Chain A
Amino acid sequence: MPDWTRTTLELIVQELQQPVRVDESFDRRVMVRVRRMQAERRPRGAAGWVGAAVNLSRRPAYAAALAAGVVAVVTVGMLRSRPQTVAGSEPIPVQFVLVAPEARSVTVVGDFNNWGLGDTALVAENHNGVWSVSAPVPAGVHRYAFLVNGKQWVADPTAPRAAGDDFGQPSSALVVEGTPE
């Protein structure tokens, strides 16, 4: 079995072994619902209510089945809510800012615009030396850099560094959090 398959299975098993956390009113709400169901099947009256409660408490199989159902629903919900759904959300507006009073031009290029190939670079506007541009960026992790005067590569001083300047130039990392679909 490949390592990644074993790792995947371990993670899934680990997730399934997690205790199911429910709020404090869960027991009460479940019991109210169960009693209501029992009441619909039994003759109305005090004897019926008492009988239903006693009946449930004496049959742990019901509780086990209920717990298994809750675990299944919660687990499916967990797996469905994995980060992939976030990655598919709409692009989020991001503002890029670089303070460069001496610059004549500043553009922003990165993974999100194919590093400016095909004239896709974001052109920043100069506000007395504070260059900025806003653009929608897809959720996810991106590398990017500022290109000053069309030739000087500058990392964003306010952002995490992207590890590995493979091409001898600095770059930064941007993590855009999406909103679940």
Chain B
Amino acid sequence: MNTRTARGILMTALVAGAFGRAEAQDPRIGNRLDAPSRKALSALVDSARAQGIPVEPLMEKVYQGLAMGADGSRIVVAVRSLTVEMANAHRVLGAVATTDELKAAASAVHAGVPAVELGKMKKQSGLRRSLTLPFTVLADIVSRGVPVQTAANAIRSLVGAGAHDRDISEFQRNVQVDIEKGAQPKAAAETRVKGAVTTPAARPEKREQE
């Protein structure tokens, strides 16, 4: 049994315990959540599972909320929002998407990227290319002020040009630094993507190592 499978089983057990009978509660949650919130979260988790959406990210959101001192109603709102975003991502990415891809895609949707844009990227990249990092970078640069369409075009260009994750990470760092130095986010993304798209092809020996 691999690590991910074990985590999945553990998480399923925790979900059942966390929101189920009071005596079987997850000790990490304990009495920190009021009964109405537990009931609402339980319904959300059941709904997600029925749609084929992984529930692990939902539990992580609960833990994050508790750690950050949020009250039950705010956690419910956040988990409901995440459930909807993951459902949107699942709809456009299909059953071939991994939990990590769905999680990253949900972040991008949360940042304001239309789910349909993510679906286009998945169809463009095919089954083998994981889009976890591209979606993560997409969410990041949008949250830094790069317009959604500019950001989506940039990431699609990178993925379409065969850029590897390290190339896309470098693109993200460059855009971040440019913005922190005062560049307009749109200009930073449009300029940096030009270099990032041409650079990977110029380093064939590096790509072959992957």
Contact = CB atoms under 8 A, between A and B. Distances in A.
A158 to B, nearest CB: 8
B-side binding surface: helix, strand, loop or mixed?
helix
Contact of A15 (B127, B142, B143): B127
B101 A88 contact: no
Contact of A10 (B3, B64, B123, B139): B123
Interface stretch (B42-50, B92-100, B153-161, B191-199): B92-100
Interface string B166-197: 00000011000000000000000000000000
**Which among A84, A117, A143 has the greatest number of chain B C-beta atoms within 10 A?**
A117
Contact of A143 (B64, B74, B81, B111): B64
Contacts, number: 165
A89 to B, nearest CB: 7
A14 to B, nearest CB: 6
B52 interface: yes
B7 interface: yes
B94 A78 contact: no
Interface residues of A, number: 53
Contacts of B78: 166-167
**Which among A90, A115, A169 has the greatest number of chain B C-beta atoms within 10 A?**
A115
Contact of B136 (A118, A167, A168, A175): A175
Interface string B45-75: 0000000100001001101111111100011
A111 B29 CA distance: 15
A3 B61 CA distance: 26
A140 B99 contact: yes
A153 B52 CA distance: 33
A60 interface: no
Contacts of A26: none
A12 B142 contact: no
B68 A175 contact: no
A173 interface: yes
B127 A79 contact: yes
A167 B126 contact: no
Contact of B140 (A11, A84, A163): A163
B91 interface: yes
B12 interface: no
Contacts of A86: 130
Nearest to A177: B165
A161 B139 contact: yes
Contacts of A9: 94
B126 A18 contact: yes
A118 B29 CA distance: 9
Given A141-B104, A173-B139, A87 B96 contact: no
A93 interface: no
Contacts of A6: 94
Contacts of A51: none
B5 A88 contact: yes
Contact of A160 (B69, B91, B95, B137): B137
Interface string A84-106: 10111111000000000000000
Contacts of A141: 100, 103-104, 132-133, 136
15 contacts: A4-B94, A8-B94, A15-B127, A79-B127, A82-B128, A83-B100, A83-B132, A88-B5, A118-B28, A141-B100, A141-B136, A164-B107, A166-B77, A168-B70, A175-B100
- Listed from nearest, the 6 A-B pairs whose CB atoms lie closest are A88-B2, A8-B94, A7-B94, A160-B140, A115-B67, A163-B111
Given A111-B64, A166-B70, 4 more contacts: A8-B94, A10-B123, A140-B4, A141-B133
